[in-house]
Structure 1
Amino acid sequence: MAETNNNNNTATEMPGEATTNAAATTAERKVSWAKLRRVDSLNMEAGNASWSRTLNLAFQSIGVIYGDIGTSPLYVYASTFPDGIGNNDDILGVLSLIIYTLILVPMIKYVFLVLWANDNGDGGTFALYSLICRYAKVALIPNDQPEDRELSNYRLDTASNQLKRAQKIKEKLEKSKTAKIVLFLATILGTSMVIGDGVLTPCISVLSAVSGIKPLNQDAVVFISIGILIIIFCVQRFGTDKVGYSFAPAICLWFLFISGIGLYNLFKHDLGVLRAFNPKYIVDYFKRNGKKGWISLGGIVLCITGTEAMFADLGHFNVPAIQISFSGIVFPSLLAAYIGQAAYLSKFPDPFYWPTFVVANAAAIIASQAMISGAFAIISQSLSLSCFPRVKVVHTSDKYEGQVYIPEVNYFLMVACVIVTYSFKTTEKIGNAYGIAVVAVMLITTCLVTLIMLMIWKTKIWWIWLFFIIFMSIETIYFSSVLYKFTQGGYLPLAFSLVLMTMMGIWHYTQQQRYLYELKNKVSSSYVRDLSKNENINRLPGIGFLYSELVQGIPPIFPHFISNIPSIHSVIVFVSIKSIPISKVALEERFLFRQVEPREYRIFRCVARYGYKELIEEPKEFERMLVENLKEFIREEHYILETEQMPDNIPHSGLLGARKSSSSSAVHIEEAIEQQITSRVSSSSIQSFNAANNSNRISGGVPVQSAEDEMQFVQRAMDEGVFYLIGEAEVVAKQDSSLVKKMAINYGYPFLRKNFRQGEKSLAIPRTRLLRVGMTYEI
């Protein structure tokens, strides 16, 4: 198909250099490279900020991120010693394990290493996956375009002498289908485990806090906990921003409380527990307890629950803010709390209860809030990569783009929490399940960050081996311990993750097969030309948006529309909503247009590009933005076409130089040329919008006019109305397909589509302007 391949985003500036367009209005649309800077995951700090801003973010992060890890002292020792403390020296061994686990995993691994593996300031499993997808073509849906790499923060260039090794790894990943599938499965497994955290964190945190009321029996504790959980989920619709501004003071009070009590217990009962800083006590602990000591690691690992939240919630803050808040407040408070508990237990081996039930419950509620919000955020990200069925995503904050609320997921989590709390009843059993989810996510993060070190950061190989061996060894040992309690509750997160992975896998696989079918069966280049000769096709006033997954070519649903409804609008735009493997796309770079030949029939293709942290605008705003960018594209296209036809007395090289110059004289030259071009257009060759409507056959296309007239034509078409055309593609497996494929495509995918939101609902398309036509895809 004859098409023009010009990106309408030509107003990008490099430092000391600018690009201007033909018309004065376009010349004014300069996009500063300072705003659209290329950033590196190794150096990005989730946005540059002054020290005062960083300190403010550090304070806010305490309330959002650390509620989970901050409430761990409520249940770590109880989970580690479920049968009581047999030997006082075991307290020193467990305390030593807690101290060095906190130093190695949250402090060294996450705060000083993993946080730098962010994707333009955003963290989490999907951020790591998108970062890898940007460097290597490992995404399972083949919709990459060369133009996408022109986006301001798409490509990351790091200077390194390890380029050859990185290039070899990249080539192996791109050639291996198995590697692509494994990478995708690891990503959705990590995602499923984080969502599982969203179920288990509220259960164990609230149950632990309520258990502090000594007179209550077990049933009363369970029902009070369920009541608190229901309240937590019911207030989610108000948004984290409204509910959470008081979280930071409350969590600061909590950390002050546990550190104060810890120091009091240390000086009051036993200063000797400070000997636990000697790692010799770890060796002695395992020598003394053997297998029992290894099993107890399943309780000790709970001291780092919520560590992944530091990385997952990075997009709301910046790297220095999290480093300051953890190193300066959270880490010393946790050390003081665990040391004080050990000092108390050395004198009073029986379990002890927190003296302030209200503070403990407030902290537990906040801890629950952090992981629930994290589950919302990660599902929102997975939606954009076609890894999760469509759900309604509501932005709850004007200040923080990442704060979202998903009603369907919220109530699903609430029901799951109530069932888990009622079924397990005690923190020990939930802790067995909780540990598996926590450590599994950490293992996946270690593997993905290692791959980033190899391929993107191009770190020296001995640093990479050191990172991988140390943290993989620690996390594998902990993982083996928590797996030992598989039958005692550990099966829960694995079963939960298996269900989620199956659902996400079926959805993503079928979406991939749909895309490949459309790509294989896209309309031939001669279709539109043949259509123009068909006198039975009418042109209707208005603009038609035909939605398609394809980013190239005309989808097979279009001729199906024509065969059922022999009419098309005066302007047709094939719209493809595409997710880019970056968190955000600049508004100036949102739309990519191409024009379908013959030009006079005004059929365009548009790729609307969104980062995985962004949502599509409301219909009116989306229509306005698309049409404004379409008119800009028409202006630039006319400029290029007319300059190619300029007389020889205006040299092309000088003209191109004028377009690249940022001086005012260059703008004057362009304006003069624009006037010459316009004056050459005969008024007799211009037909009005009404004239175009009077010629109501598609064969009566309007000749190509001047840029201003074409733009007016599009604007008048928009004033007549924007109409949405959506194909309802029924997907069925071929007769010779395997049984597993038939089950997934013929039963699993229709079930998910039926029970989740349809396309027009997720796009918020007005029903009065929606036209749907059905079609069957046999894949």
Structure 2
Amino acid sequence: MSDAANHEIRPPAGKESAHGASTTKLAVGAVGIVFGDIGTSPLYAFRETFVGHHPLALDQLHVYGVVSLIFWSMTLVVSIQYVMILLSADNKGQGGSLALVALISRTIGKTKYGWLTVLLGVMATSLFYGDSMITPAISVLSAVEGLTVVQENLAPLVIPIAVTLLVILFILQARGTQKVAALFAPVMMVYFVVIAGLGLVQIVQNPGILAALNPWYAVQFFLTDGLLAFLALGSVVLAVTGSEALYSDMGHFGRGPMRLSWFGFVMPCLLLNYFGQGAMITSLDAEAAAQAIQSPFYYLAPEMWRLPLVILATFATFIASQAVITGAFSITHQAMQLGFIPRLSIRHTNETEAGQIYIPAMNWALMVAVILLVLTFQNSSSLASAYGIAVTGAVTIDTLLMAVLLVGVWKWKWWYAAPVVLLFLVVDGAYFAANMMKVPDGGWFPLLIGAIAFTLLTTWARGRKLMRDRMTEVALPIEIFAKSAHNSATRVSGTAIFMASSTGGVPSALLHNIKHNKVLHERVVILTVQIAEIPYVDPDCRYEIHDLGEGFFRAVIHYGFMEETDVPAALRQMEMCGGKFDMMQTSFFLSRQTLLPSDKPGMPIWREKIFSWMLRNAATAMEFFRLPTNRVVELGSQVRI
């Protein structure tokens, strides 16, 4: 597969925006799917700012300062940067770091700085994997810890219950999320209304907390405490974790419904809860405040309602975790299609919705990592030290990509773009720098996962390019081969399709077949699948057919990076290649490459070994292209890179 088609490919009608459902209906759906991560942040964000590794005094200065920081962080990072600006930067309706990189690459990809944009996108993707491991662990654990607020002697049950819930969550992935998703929006709507109501009660009783809307309280916090205020940013940022998910999930709902959900419902509910937590703490005496700050989210509720709140919050964190896991599947699929990850086995859990997929290898790897995190860190406060670095790193990278977007794609004048980019770089950079202070206390984990993922992604992309270059160097022109092979081999009935990674030369499987079997089918099709840098390809631009004569054809099938590569389904629609394809009379020939050491390796030996391992463990083209198992023949070849 090549990374892009060599001509302009348009998306099909209806794919550039959300489906035809009403804006209100889509907005309600977005509440259930998109906002779970940021919606469960009140469970731990406010608490961690005061009881984390750099505790703050429970006085008016610090409570008002923290609440003010949360409000302005949510306004700048989530509302303006993501909801207002980045949701407008869609790649034919799709969002996310890789989609943004593909969008930018179509404009500046040929320039000398194009590689840097791709590198930034791969870095953001790598950090996402660390985030997708920590989010389920901290979310579910923080919810279940509410049991200790209800009754202290339940503390020994927290870890077993959390691990059990997480195991169930990952086991359910194979069944698909359609039925569970029907419950997501109602549960999350109830959750947001409840947390807003709990906060509003406290605000009504202590309206003075509304003064924290004034940014002066955040400024005063910094002027008074300096370094301590800077370190507090590492916990304040937990209130906006999940903001990057808004952008990644845009393709499911569209920017309009998501903006309506955020400004009309989610943001007001979250702010009411955060301001309510602040109002409650300032209204208590020192001893009561010290007890309540250990779990201010649950102390907002009267004692008799805390157990139901624990159950509701657990459901909400379950949903938030589901959204992150689904996001991991989606971003892995995008990375596969764009050539950064080897082929993995993909199962479609819904016959009508292509986006609902299940990747077994990714699912079980995430489950093991999440459970190890829970068993290692033991509580959500410890996990909070590891949380935030991946998110702030990805947000900072998105800001750099946004700078390229504004100037390179949207053609803003630099004097307009510079102040906007500088503002967000200062804000996002400060959050990232504050989180880097948490590296010794657990922040090393997402950085380690990000480094491993980055190494794997770049190694695969580099090795894949080297392998293609080597194969192209020795490739025989297909026109010459077609004429000579016609007279030197016996023709047999049926169709032979030879899968080829490039549109030039003769596939090694075809050369080996004629060398060893000395036969050719009546119709020989050399088929290449190309992935374009847009999410969906117009059906009218799906196929390229070249008749080479003597019964030989070269065909190219184009897909977008969000589409399912189902070759048999595409062939059934393709009649311009010597007639219709009968799968019972068609054989698919695949090449399986074995790497050999090279005298002049194109990359370090250790990376070459990693690439070789990834190549051996990749899903076969038969699985990836959904070829009929009883119609496939594999022929091996050796390549030196």
TM above 0.5: yes
2:269 to 312, 330, 333: 333
Equivalent residue of 2:547, what SS?
strand
Q: Which residue of 2 aligns with 1:318?
A: 254
Could you give the per-residue CA deviations for residues 162-203 of structure 1, whole angstroms, max 9, x where no partner exists? Answer: xxxxxxxxxxxx252xx3443222212211222222211111
Q: Is the 8 A contact 1:521 1:555 kept in 2?
A: no
Partner letter of residue 289 of structure 1? D
Q: Distance in 2 between matches of 1:91 and 1:47?
A: 41
- Alpha carbons of 1:93 and 1:274: their partners in 2 closer, same or farther (altered >3 Å)? same
Q: Distance in 2 between matches of 1:344 and 1:109?
A: 31
Q: Is the 8 A contact 2:201 2:276 kept in 1?
A: yes
Kindly state the Cα deviation for residue 109 of structure 1 after the two structures are TM-superposed. Answer: 1.0
Q: Distance in 1 between matches of 2:617 and 2:16?
A: 40
Could you give the per-residue CA deviations for residues 282-327 of structure 1, whole angstroms, max 9, x where no partner exists? Answer: 1211122221111111100000011111110111111110010100
Q: Is the 8 A contact 2:566 2:626 kept in 1?
A: no
Matches within 5 A, 1:379-778: 379-398=332-351, 400-524=353-477, 525-534=479-488, 537-596=489-548, 599=549, 601-617=550-566, 619=568, 621-626=569-574, 628-631=575-578, 711=579, 715=580, 718=582, 721-737=585-601, 741-745=604-608, 747-778=609-640
- Alpha carbons of 1:731 and 1:132: their partners in 2 closer, same or farther (altered >3 Å)? farther
User: Percent identical across equivalent pairs?
Assistant: 29
Name stretches of at least 5 consecutive residues in structure 1 with no aligned partner: 1-6, 13-32, 139-173, 632-710
Kindly state the Cα deviation for residue 134 of structure 1 after the two structures are TM-superposed. Answer: 2.2
Q: Is the 8 A contact 1:79 1:427 kept in 2?
A: no
1:75 to 44, 51, 57: 44
- Alpha carbons of 1:187 and 1:732: their partners in 2 closer, same or farther (altered >3 Å)? farther
Partner letter of residue 72 of structure 1? S
Partner letter of residue 235 of structure 1? L
Q: Distance in 2 between matches of 1:362 and 1:768?
A: 44
Matched, 1:200 2:169: no
Q: Distance in 1 between matches of 2:317 and 2:281?
A: 23
Matches within 5 A, 1:286-325: 286-325=222-261
Q: Which residue of 2 aligns with 1:113?
A: 85
Q: Is the 8 A contact 1:591 1:629 kept in 2?
A: no
Highest Rg: 1 or 2?
A: 1
Kindly state the Cα deviation for residue 135 of structure 1 after the two structures are TM-superposed. Answer: 2.4
Kindly state the Cα deviation for residue 259 of structure 1 after the two structures are TM-superposed. Answer: 0.6
Q: Is the 8 A contact 2:509 2:589 kept in 1?
A: no
Q: Is the 8 A contact 2:492 2:519 kept in 1?
A: yes
Count of residues in correspondence between the two structures = 612
Q: Is the 8 A contact 1:733 1:741 kept in 2?
A: no
Q: Is the 8 A contact 1:572 1:603 kept in 2?
A: yes
Equivalent residue of 2:633, what SS?
strand
Equivalent residue of 1:122, what SS?
coil
Equivalent residue of 2:524, what SS?
strand
Kindly state the Cα deviation for residue 773 of structure 1 after the two structures are TM-superposed. Answer: 1.7
- Alpha carbons of 1:8 and 1:73: their partners in 2 closer, same or farther (altered >3 Å)? closer
Q: Distance in 2 between matches of 1:374 and 1:261?
A: 30
Q: Distance in 1 between matches of 2:622 and 2:351?
A: 25
Q: Distance in 2 between matches of 1:274 and 1:767?
A: 65
Q: Which residue of 1 aligns with 2:193?
A: 256
Partner letter of residue 635 of structure 2? V
Matched, 1:101 2:73: yes
Equivalent residue of 1:472, what SS?
helix
Q: Distance in 2 between matches of 1:436 and 1:47?
A: 32
Kindly state the Cα deviation for residue 577 of structure 1 after the two structures are TM-superposed. Answer: 1.1
Please report the RMSD computed on the Cα atoms of aligned residues, expressed in angstroms.
2.3
Partner letter of residue 261 of structure 1? L
Q: Which runs of 4+ in 1 moved over 6 A?
A: none
Matches within 5 A, 1:82-231: 82=51, 83=55, 85-136=57-108, 138=109, 174-176=110-112, 179-214=113-148, 215-216=152-153, 218-231=155-168
Could you give the per-residue CA deviations for residues 481-526 of structure 1, whole angstroms, max 9, x where no partner exists? Answer: 0001101010111100111111112211111112212222221343
Could you give the per-residue CA deviations for residues 449-479 of structure 1, whole angstroms, max 9, x where no partner exists? Answer: 2212212211232331122111111000000
Partner letter of residue 81 of structure 1? F
Q: Which residue of 2 aligns with 1:158?
A: none
Partner letter of residue 743 of structure 1? W
Q: Distance in 2 between matches of 1:8 and 1:258?
A: 51
Q: Which residue of 2 aligns with 1:66?
A: 35
Equivalent residue of 2:387, what SS?
helix
Partner letter of residue 264 of structure 2? G
Q: Is the 8 A contact 2:532 2:558 kept in 1?
A: yes
TM-score computed with the length of structure 2 as normaliser: 0.91
Partner letter of residue 202 of structure 1? P
Equivalent residue of 2:388, what SS?
helix
Q: Distance in 2 between matches of 1:300 and 1:719?
A: 59
Partner letter of residue 550 of structure 1? S
- Alpha carbons of 1:778 and 1:180: their partners in 2 closer, same or farther (altered >3 Å)? farther
Equivalent residue of 2:355, what SS?
coil
Q: Is the 8 A contact 1:519 1:555 kept in 2?
A: no
| More moved, 522-531 vs 96-105 | 522-531
Kindly state the Cα deviation for residue 556 of structure 1 after the two structures are TM-superposed. Answer: 4.5
Q: Is the 8 A contact 2:58 2:281 kept in 1?
A: no
Q: Which residue of 2 aligns with 1:283?
A: 219
Q: Distance in 1 between matches of 2:584 and 2:617?
A: 35
Kindly state the Cα deviation for residue 84 of structure 1 after the two structures are TM-superposed. Answer: 5.6
Equivalent residue of 1:416, what SS?
helix
Equivalent residue of 1:213, what SS?
helix
Equivalent residue of 2:201, what SS?
helix
Partner letter of residue 558 of structure 2? R
Could you give the per-residue CA deviations for residues 667-713 of structure 1, whole angstroms, max 9, x where no partner exists? Answer: xxxxxxxxxxxxxxxxxxxxxxxxxxxxxxxxxxxxxxxxxxxx4xx
Q: Distance in 2 between matches of 1:720 and 1:392?
A: 24
Kindly state the Cα deviation for residue 77 of structure 1 after the two structures are TM-superposed. Answer: 1.6
Q: Which residue of 1 aligns with 2:302?
A: none
2:279 to 318, 322, 343: 343
Q: Distance in 2 between matches of 1:523 and 1:443?
A: 47
Q: Is the 8 A contact 1:93 1:285 kept in 2?
A: yes
Partner letter of residue 79 of structure 2? M
| More moved, 761-770 vs 494-503 | 761-770
Q: Distance in 2 between matches of 1:318 and 1:175?
A: 31
TM-score computed with the length of structure 1 as normaliser: 0.75
Could you give the per-residue CA deviations for residues 42-77 of structure 1, whole angstroms, max 9, x where no partner exists? Answer: xx962475xx71111001100000011111100012
Q: Distance in 2 between matches of 1:719 and 1:443?
A: 50
Q: Is the 8 A contact 1:8 1:593 kept in 2?
A: no
Q: Distance in 2 between matches of 1:518 and 1:103?
A: 52
Equivalent residue of 2:476, what SS?
coil
- Alpha carbons of 1:233 and 1:607: their partners in 2 closer, same or farther (altered >3 Å)? same
Q: Which residue of 2 aligns with 1:242?
A: 179
Partner letter of residue 310 of structure 1? L
Q: Is the 8 A contact 1:8 1:629 kept in 2?
A: no
Q: Distance in 1 between matches of 2:244 and 2:605?
A: 37
Q: Distance in 2 between matches of 1:288 and 1:8?
A: 59
